Amino acid sequence: MSHTILIVDDNDAFRGMLTSVLGLRGYQTLAARSGAEGLKLAAEYQVDAVLVDVEMPEMDGLEFCRLLREQEQPTGVNVPVWIMTGALRVGVNRRAAAVGALVVLRKPLNVEETCAQFEREFRQRTGQQPPAATETGDGSPPAAG
């Protein structure tokens, strides 16, 4: 099942790179260059997760997250939000948690770890267990041929 990730970042190059990289990993993406545009897309489309930059003009990522939670209230939906930042500032983790964000990620992102976090969150929300490891029967490695 393909998941849709909303990317909200005012940096065109970074937003484009993230869109491409996530697309190559099988995710659908929606991209917004501002918090207001991101809120509009979140209202119009079903998104499974949001990556939002903390520092943007007009509306920062924390305000975006707070307004997204207000926008979601009537529906009961609670889309997981990952806040991204190039410079970790004092109190960002606490403030992000207070507005309902799951994690604060440091730019440049470790895309593999970010995708692993998405998948863990999606499995948890759907109640699915991770795939079981393949066993050889007695616990020993397969015989060399």
Which tens digit of pLDDT belongs to each residue from 92-106? 999 999 999 998 999
CA distance 88 to 54: 10
Q: How far apart are CA 39 and CA 71, in angstroms?
A: 8
Cα Rg of the chain, angstroms: 18
Distance CA 71, CA 67 (A): 6
Q: Which amino acid is at 73?
A: Q
68-74 mean pLDDT: 96
Q: Could you tell me if 49 and 80 are in contact, meaning their C-beta atoms sit under 8 angstroms apart? A: yes
Question: What ranges do the domains of the chain cover?
Answer: 4-126
DSSP state of 54: S
In this structure, are residues 59 and 34 in contact, taking their beta carbons and an 8 Å threshold?
yes
Query: Model confidence at 126, in pLDDT bands (50, 70, 90)?
Result: confident
Q: What predicted TM-score, i.e. pTM, was given to this entire model? A: 0.85
Tell me if the domain spanning 4-126 has CATH number 3.40.228.10: no
